Structure 1
C-alpha cells in the first residue's frame, strides 16, 4: 500500500496526492459524500440531510462527484421520474479520510475559531 510522498516535492502539480486535496477542498464535496454514506438518496433527501445547500449547488456538486467517479446517478422510468445518487466503491474509500478530518474539526474547531477571533481584520 502506498505510504504517500517521500520527498519535499511530494505535492507538486503532477502529484496524485493533490487530487485528494482538490476533491476535498470544496466544502460540499466531502459533506455530500458523507451524506451518502448510509445508502442511495434522492436530490431532495440530500438537500434536507445536508442543510444550507441550494438545489443548484447540490446539482453541481453531484455532477462533479459523478464526473470524478465517486457518485453514481441512477434514473428510473417511473411516474413521477425518480433519480437516486449513491456512492461508488471509489467514493466509499473517501469516507474514512473524511471521518478523520471531521474528528479533527471536532477536536480543534474551537481553537481555530479562537485564532480567527484574535486576528485583526
Structure 2
C-alpha cells in the first residue's frame, strides 16, 4: 500500500513504535532512499538490521524514547475535545490486573495492543 501511494518510492519517514523485530524490519523496507526510520518502540530482544538492503538507500535510523515536549499541547487538545485519544485504546484492565496489562502491552505484536488503559476498579 505504501509503495502504491508513493509511486514505488516508499515513505519519507517511518515510525516503529511497537517494539517487535517484525515491525522494525517492515519499517526498513517501507522507507524511501534518503528517508528516516524513527525507532521509538521499546524492544525486549534483537531485531535484524539488513545492511545488505539498506546501505545503498542512505537512510537515517534514530532510536530513543519519545520525549514529553508536546504532552501539554496534546492534553489541551484532548481536554478541548479536538483529539479523541480513545480511538487508540485497544485494551482495558483494572489496576489489580496491572501485571496482566503490562504483559499484553509487552506482547503487542501478538495481542494487537496499541494503548492499554488501567482503571481503579
TM more than 0.5: no
| TM bin (shorter chain) | under 0.3
TM-score (norm 2): 0.28
Structure with the higher helix share, 1 or 2: 1
Higher strand share: 2
TM-score, scaled to structure 1:
0.28
